Amino acid sequence: MAILRPLDLKMQPAPYDARMKVISRTLELLDKYKPQKTDSKTTAVHWEYEVARHSASKQSYIFNASLLLRDIVRYKGNLNKSGKYESPKVQISKESVLAKLKELLLDEKQLKEGGYILGPGVGGENNASSKSDNGLRECARCSQKFEELNIMVPTSCQFHPSRQQYNKGTRSYHYPCCGEDGVSVTPYSLGCKTLEQHVYRQETYEDMSKTIEFRHTKDFVGDSNVLGLDCEMAYTSYGYELIRLTVVDFWTKKALFDEIVQPLGEIIDLNSQFSGVHEIDRATSLTFEDARKIFLGPKMINTNSILIGHGLENDLNILRIIHDKIIDTAILYPNGKFKSSLKNLAFQELSRKIQTGEHDSSEDAIASMDIIKSKLGIPLDRDIW
């Protein structure tokens, strides 16, 4: 007689308790209908195992388990002649997926609250300008005030490259980069890294438009598509600029655009630790305008595109794009009052480790899309429709 517990898998799609509930409910139904000549406990354990084996995430497990229980009731336990349960091949059409994706689109209120800029003076209220009335900028790394005109003049910018994190065990904050708590009197309390320039980010529509004008996708009518995208940025003499863009097709996972893009300003910091970009060859890399002629248009990002990403307001701002068909995993999966990191979300929803070293915009774009696919019960390896 089988032991009533889940069979082990290399990658568990759901917690032990959740799997036990499915086994118990399966056994309850089998005892009710008594269809099998084999032991009901053995059947319940193995049928649940097949469900777990064919599930790539917690969401797909819940979905597949619901199909198992539905079929047991529908066929009174007689699922097939062999007495074995085969995970159903659910027919998911492109049309049905599109309908589900449209249900996940952020409405105007959510876009505004999420910091998305929808036009001049519309949206982006959460972002305050880094420029004061007297022409000073606030450094995005150390928070000191400095003259924008003197941005390339050597100075001392001391900061922590990592954001503070909260430790529930010690109930205190610390910087992962060096372990400092930010309130000590050590030489590193203000920062464990020192560079020679201050840097800043443009945060408002007006400020960002001074270097590159925004374009609205309503001016570009084209193919209906679903795209995952992610950008990598750097600090330059012009503020915060695009240096890499990856656009991936939702249906095939093929990269439609993955290029290094040269910034307009003089490079101060490529953020290589996070961006993964170590150098930019201005002789061979695309200019921003040349790149935008490719990624913004009828064949790629246009008014009919559904864009998927994590914290996409930052990416669209850096691309100077206004768009309203957005699925943002940072908003769909909040972490209390804060936004979840993509790294934690990918591990939580996909059991996938990402950003273990330098960031990769391609890896991040695919992770955001896969989180949505998992939510909708779409097999992550499906690339033919």
Question: pLDDT tens for residues 207-233?
Answer: 999 999 999 999 999 989 999 999 999
353 occurs within a structural domain: yes
Boundary-marking domain end, from 148, 175, 195: 195
Q: What are phi and psi of 328, to 5 degrees?
A: -115, 110
User: Do 140 and 210 lie in a common domain?
Assistant: no
Inform me whether the pLDDT recorded for 190 exceeds 50. yes
DSSP for 231-280 reads EEEEEETTEEEEEEEEEEETTT--EEEEEEEE-SS-EEE--HHHH-----
What's the total number of domains in the chain?
A: 3
Look up residue 217 and give its amino acid: T
Tell me if 344 is assigned to some domain.
Answer: yes
At 103 the pLDDT is 92
pLDDT at 206 over 80: yes
Of 53, 38, 54, 33, nearest in space to 2 by CA: 38
3-state DSSP helix/strand/coil % of the chain, to nearest 5: 30, 20, 50
Same domain, 336 and 225: yes
pLDDT value of position 158: 95
Least-confidence region, from 22-26, 284-288, 360-364, 381-385 = 381-385
Give whole-number Cα distances, 9 to 13, 55, 66, 346, in Å: 9, 11, 20, 19
CA angle 270, 275, 350 (to 5 degrees): 170
pLDDT value at position 373? Answer: 93
* 70 plus 191 within the same structural domain: no
- From CA 322, how far away is CA 118, in angstroms rounded? 6
In a domain, residue 154? The reply is yes
CA pair distance 355, 338, nearest whole angstrom: 20
- For residue 310, being part of any structural domain is answered with yes
Tell me, yes or no, whether 89 lies in a domain. no
Do the bridges between strand 239-249 and strand 225-236 make them parallel or antiparallel, or are there none, so unpaired? Answer: antiparallel
pLDDT digits (tens, 9 = 90+) for 230-266: 999 999 999 999 999 999 999 999 999 999 999 999 9
Which of 196, 192, 187 is closest to 176 using CA atoms? 192
Mean pLDDT of 54-81: 80
Would 148 be classed as within a structural domain? yes
Please tell me the distance from the alpha carbon of residue 16 to that of residue 321, in angstroms, as a whole number. Answer: 45
Per-residue pLDDT for 129 more than 70?
Answer: no
State the pLDDT confidence band at 82, using cuts at 50, 70 and 90: very low
Instruction: Please report which confidence band the pLDDT of residue 130 belongs to, taking 50, 70 and 90 as the band edges.
Output: low
Output the pLDDT for position 231. 97
pLDDT at 199: 97
Asked whether the beta carbons of 181 and 212 are under 8 A apart, the reply is no
Give the whole-number percent of the chain exceeding pLDDT 70: 92
Residue 57 has pLDDT above 80, yes or no: no
Q: Is residue 7 part of a domain?
A: no
> Is residue 210 located within the same domain as residue 346?
yes
pTM of the entire predicted model: 0.76
For residue 371, the model assigns a pLDDT of 94
33 and 98 housed in the same domain: no
**Do residues 39 and 106 both lie within one domain?**
no
Same domain, 313 and 335: yes
List Cβ neighbours of 343 (8 Å cut-off, separation of 6 or more): 354, 355
Q: Does 80 score more than 70 pLDDT? A: no
State the pLDDT at residue 176: 85
Specify the CATH number for the domain of residue 100. 3.30.420.10
- The burial of 72, by beta-carbon neighbours within 10 Å (0-12 exposed, 13-18 middle, 19 or more buried), is given as buried
The confidence score (pLDDT) of residue 153 equals 96
What is the mean pLDDT of the segment spanning 84-92? 55
Considering the domain architecture, whether residues 212 and 269 belong to the same structural domain is answered as yes
| Three-class DSSP category at 33 | helix
Q: How many CB atoms lie within 10 A of CB 32?
A: 13
Residues 233 and 98 grouped into a single domain: yes
Cα–Cα distances in Å, from 113 out to 124, 239, 331? 8, 24, 10
d(CA 25, CA 66) in angstroms, rounded, equals: 11
Beta-sheet pairing, 305-309 with 225-236:
parallel
Clarify whether residues 153 and 291 are in a common domain: no
Q: Please, what is the average pLDDT of the chain? A: 88
Question: Residue 84: what pLDDT?
Answer: 53
| One domain, residues 70 and 103 | no
Q: Which two tokens stand for residue 357?
A: 């070293």
Tell me if 94 sits within 8 A of 251, measured CB to CB.
yes
Percent with pLDDT over 90 in the chain: 56
The type of residue at 364 is D
356 or 252, which is more confident = 252
The pLDDT tens digits for 3-30 are 789 988 877 888 999 999 999 999 999 8
Q: Does 332 fall in a domain? A: yes
Provide the pLDDT confidence category of residue 131 given band limits of 50, 70 and 90.
low
Same domain, 214 and 355: yes
**Which range marks the domain in which residue 280 is found?**
94-125+205-376
